[in-house]
Amino acid sequence: MRHFTNVKDLGNLNEAVHEALRIKQDRYAFQHLGKNKTLMMVFFNSSLRTRLSTQKAGMNLGMNTMVLDINQGAWKLETERGVIMDGDKPEHILEAIPVMGSYCDVIGVRSFARFEDKSFDDQETILNQFIQHSGKPVFSMEAATGHPLQSFADLITIEEYKKKDRPKVVLTWAPHPRALPQAVPNSFADFMNEADVDFVITHPYGYELNKRFVRDAVVEYDQMKAFEGADFIYAKNWAAYQDPNYGKILCEDRSWTVSSKQMSVTNDAYFMHCLPVRRNMIVSDDVIESTNSLVIPEAANREISAQTVLKRILESL
Ligand code: CP
C-alpha cells in the first residue's frame, strides 16, 4: 500500500480486518519494519484519539514520530495557487509540503472540510496536495470527505462484538450545535457497504449524504423504524451536504438524540460513536454509560487500524 485515503486502499476488507486482529494479539511483532523510519503527523485540526493512537501505532512498529500542528507554532499556510500573499499567511503549502516530506518516510494528514467551497472539499485538495508534492506515502487522519482510519477501527470493533454472521448496522444522524463535516458518516457508509452487514442510514430530510458513499444502502427517514431489530447503532452528526445547503444546520430536533427509547426497539444493540461526543445532544448519559456502549473499545481499536495501515505502508517502502 502506497497511500491510504479510503476503503479501496485496503484491498480485501475481510483479510484486512483479520490482519488487524492478528496484530492486536502481538502488536510489537513488527518493530523491525519501522527501524530508522520517521512518521510525520500533520494536523490542520484538533485531535485527541487520532493523534495519540496513530503515534502509538508508529511506536509499536519501531518508528520515530513527529507531530506538527499547523495552527499552533507553525507558519500559517496559504493553500490556494495564484493568491497574492500579502495577508496573514507567510508560507505556501506548495513549499511547506516538500520540506515536510524531506524530513520523514510516511506522512499522516488531518484536514477537515472547510465548508467554504464544496468542490475544494469534495476534491480533497489538501490531502491530494500532500500526495502530489511530498514524495512520500500519505495516509488520511480524517480529511474533507472521509475518515477511513476511524471506519476501519469501527469495522474491527463490529467484527469483535457481532453475535451473528450478518448483523444489522444502523448509521443515525443526531443533533449537534455546530455544523460538522460528513467525513465520518461518508467513510462509515463506504466501509459498511463493503462489509458483510445489513446497512441502514437514517436522518432527517435534507441530510442526504453524497451518493458516492451511500451507494445502494437503505435510507430510512423514520428513525424508530430504522432502529427496529438493529444489532449496532452508530450515531453521528453531520451538516447538510446537498446544495444549496452545503455545510448548514437544517434540523435541531432533539427527538433524534439516541436514548433508551430508541434503543428499546433494537435487538439489544451495541451503541457506537467515534468520539468526541456531546452527551444529551447525540446520545443520552444512560445509553453511552450502558454495558452496550462500545465507544471505549472502538477508540482503543484506532491504534490497531492505524498500525495495520502503517505496517502495510512500511512493507511497501
Ligand atoms: N474519532 C476521532 O478521530 O477523534 P479525534 O478527533 O479526537 O482524533
Same domain, 173 and 291: yes
Residue 161: the pLDDT is 98
Residues 166 and 152: their CA atoms lie apart, in Å, by 17
At 96-106, the pLDDT tens digits run: 999 999 999 99
Same domain, 166 and 250: yes
Q: Is 94 a domain residue?
A: yes
Q: Is 2 a domain residue?
A: no
Residues 127 and 291: their CA atoms lie apart, in Å, by 38
The confidence band for 212, taking pLDDT boundaries of 50, 70 and 90, is: very high
Q: Ligand 1 in contact with 48 (CB < 6 A)?
A: yes
Same domain, 13 and 92: yes
Give the mean pLDDT of 216-235: 98
Q: Is 248 a domain residue?
A: yes
Q: Ligand 1 in contact with 142 (CB < 6 A)?
A: yes
At 172, the amino acid letter reads T
Q: Ligand 1 in contact with 50 (CB < 6 A)?
A: yes
At 116-143, the pLDDT tens digits run: 999 999 999 999 999 999 999 999 999 9
Residue 130: the pLDDT is 98
Residue 33: the pLDDT is 98
Collapsed DSSP state (helix, strand, coil) of residue 278: coil
Residues 159 and 165: their CA atoms lie apart, in Å, by 9
Cell of 251: 434540523
Residue 22: the pLDDT is 98
> How many A from CA of 21 to the centre of ligand 1?
21
Decide if pLDDT at 72 tops 80: yes
- Angle, CA 68 vertex, CA 65 and CA 73 arms, to 5°: 140
Four-CA torsion 63, 69, 74, 78, nearest 10 degrees: 110
Q: Is 1 a domain residue?
A: no
Q: Ligand 1 in contact with 39 (CB < 6 A)?
A: no
At 163-180, the pLDDT tens digits run: 999 999 999 999 999 999
Q: Ligand 1 in contact with 274 (CB < 6 A)?
A: yes
Residue 86: the pLDDT is 96
The confidence band for 260, taking pLDDT boundaries of 50, 70 and 90, is: very high
Same domain, 197 and 223: yes
Report the nearest-CA residue for atom 3 of ligand 1.
50
Q: How many domains does the chain have?
A: 2
Which CATH number characterizes residue 252's domain?
3.40.50.1370
Q: What share of the chain has pLDDT > 90, as a percent?
A: 97
Residue 1: the pLDDT is 75
- For ligand 1, pick from 274, 277, 295, 298 the residue to mutate: most ligand atoms within 8 Å of CB: 274
CB atoms within 10 A of CB 222: 9
Element (H, E) at 202: strand 198-202
Q: Is 59 a domain residue?
A: yes
Decide if pLDDT at 252 tops 80: yes
Residue 68: the pLDDT is 96
Residues 129 and 131: their CA atoms lie apart, in Å, by 5
Same domain, 204 and 232: yes
The confidence band for 71, taking pLDDT boundaries of 50, 70 and 90, is: confident
Same domain, 198 and 161: yes
Alpha helices in the chain (DSSP H): 13-25, 49-60, 93-102, 118-122, 125-133, 148-161, 183-194, 211-214, 223-227, 260-263, 285-288, 295-316
Domain residues for 142? 7-146+302-316
Q: Lowest-pLDDT range, 73-82, 118-127, 180-189?
A: 73-82
The confidence band for 192, taking pLDDT boundaries of 50, 70 and 90, is: very high
Residues 295 and 270: their CA atoms lie apart, in Å, by 9
Average pLDDT of the chain, as a whole number: 97
Q: Is 211 a domain residue?
A: yes
> How many A from CA of 142 to the centre of ligand 1?
8
Q: Ligand 1 in contact with 140 (CB < 6 A)?
A: no
Same domain, 92 and 202: no
At 61, the amino acid letter reads L
Same domain, 69 and 178: no
What is the model's pTM?
Answer: 0.97
Q: Ligand 1 in contact with 150 (CB < 6 A)?
A: yes
